[in-house]
């Protein structure tokens, strides 16, 4: 017998997301196995409630369910079959078994469903009994550049089994960048049979005033007095985790960049290896000159330097 998810949650077909969520929370609390230990009827009802909510809380799944009813999971295949056979098929959606078909060929509904489900070695009836997998959920997380370098932990508030809130602690690995997705297995929304889908953390890294980041490489500006790049010498460069000495040759130009290998960001998933640090020389010009220094610069000017 076809399942009507709207009836399962006790809402009408035009119910809003808020109404569906409210109905689910009320029913989930009432029939949760922890509230009704050893009650098989409540356990079965709880599974039905979760299956209904998994579909109706997702806009895309709900759209397919409204159109194809229990066959919603096979909507894409059904529509491909429609296009290839040049006709239309209607399953009546969630409102009832209004099955009709029409093509330029003499086909029946069993031919269509058999073609879709038969390739999988299962009858149409058994295919309809396939339950959706728990739905994955996403949550955005912002970290500093230092946290992206070292890794971090966050305490997140997510939806609990009874529709209430629960707190979980998650680890963010070293090397994450803007747009990185970190999978936390089994910590997403509860679905059929009380099982949870996965939680994906979508990471954004806050801009840093010290470094410019390009993938796994870091860029830093290093100020030097005028004499150092002219004569050559050694300058201290502050990396993200330590300070190192950089030797620059005489005649170094303003804005010239030097590569310091392995001093950049850790590579995500392989934190034992790192990107590089690029030091850009920024010459610091004197704002005022004493008489002696003024004369020296005038001599350099006369010499064409």
Q: Is residue 19 one of the residues assigned to a domain?
A: yes
- Alpha carbon separation from 282 to 81, 122, 211, 293, 297 (Å, rounded): 65, 70, 14, 21, 20
- Compute the distance between CA of residue 48 and CA of residue 193 in angstroms, rounded to an integer: 8
Last residue of a domain, one of 128, 159, 190: 128
> Scanning the structure block, which residue is given the tokens 């056979």?
85
3-state secondary structure of 149: helix
Residue at 304 is within a domain: no
Residue 70 and residue 16 share a domain: yes
Q: Are 264 and 276 in contact (CB under 8 A)?
A: yes
Output the average pLDDT for the chain: 81
- Give the Å distances, CA to CA, from 267 to 32, 173, 211, 215, 270: 43, 10, 17, 9, 5
Residues 118, 75, single domain; the answer is yes
The tens digit of pLDDT for each residue in 52-105 reads: 888 998 898 999 988 888 888 888 777 776 665 544 444 445 544 333 333 333
Residues spanned by the domain of 181 = 137-205
**Claim to verify: residue 17 and residue 51 sit in the same structural domain:** yes
**Which two structure tokens, joined as six digits, stand for 24?**
């689910």
Rounded to two decimals, what is the model's pTM?
0.55
Judged by DSSP in three states, 114 sits in: helix
Tens digits of residue pLDDT in 231-265: 999 999 999 999 999 999 999 999 999 999 999 99
Q: How far is CA 124 from the centre of its chain?
A: 35
The gap from C-alpha 199 to its chain's centroid, in whole angstroms, comes to: 9
Looking at residue 238, its pLDDT comes to 96
What does the pLDDT average to over 158-176? 83
Quick: pLDDT tens for 201-230.
999 999 999 999 999 999 999 999 999 999
> Does residue 62 lie in a domain region?
yes
- For residues 261 and 154, membership in a common domain is answered with no
């Amino acid at each position: 017998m076809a399942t009507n998810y709207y009836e399962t949650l006790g809402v009408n077909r035009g119910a809003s997301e808020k109404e569906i969520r409210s109905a689910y929370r009320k029913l989930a609390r009432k029939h949760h196995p922890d509230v009704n230990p050893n009650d098989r009827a409540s356990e079965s009802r709880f599974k039905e409630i979760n299956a209904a909510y998994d579909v109706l809380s997702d806009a895309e799944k709900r759209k397919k369910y409204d159109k194809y009813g229990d066959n919603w999971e096979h909507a894409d295949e059904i529509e491909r079959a429609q296009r290839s056979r040049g006709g239309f098929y209607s399953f009546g959606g969630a409102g009832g078994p209004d099955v009709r078909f029409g093509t330029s060929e003499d086909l029946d509904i069993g031919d269509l469903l058999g073609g879709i489900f038969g390739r999988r070695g299962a009858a149409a009836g058994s295919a309809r009994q396939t339950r959706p997998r728990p739905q994955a959920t996403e949550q955005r997380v912002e970290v500093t550049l230092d946290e992206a370098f070292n890794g971090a932990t966050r305490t997140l508030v997510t939806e609990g089994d009874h529709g209430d809130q629960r707190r979980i602690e998650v680890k963010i690995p070293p090397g994450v960048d803007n747009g990185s997705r970190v999978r936390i297995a089994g910590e997403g929304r509860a679905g059929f049979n009380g099982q949870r889908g996965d939680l994906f953390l979508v990471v954004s890294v806050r801009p840093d005033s010290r470094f410019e980041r390009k993938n796994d490489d870091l860029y830093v500006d290093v100020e030097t007095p005028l004499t150092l790049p002219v004569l050559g010498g050694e300058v201290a460069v502050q990396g993200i985790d330590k300070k190192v000495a950089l030797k620059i040759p005489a005649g170094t130009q303003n804005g010239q960049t030097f590569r310091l290998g392995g001093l950049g960001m850790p590579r995500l998933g392989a934190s034992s290896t790192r990107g590089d640090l690029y030091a850009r020389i920024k010459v610091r010009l004197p704002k005022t000159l004493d008489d002696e220094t003024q004369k020296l610069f005038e001599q350099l000017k006369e010499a064409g330097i």
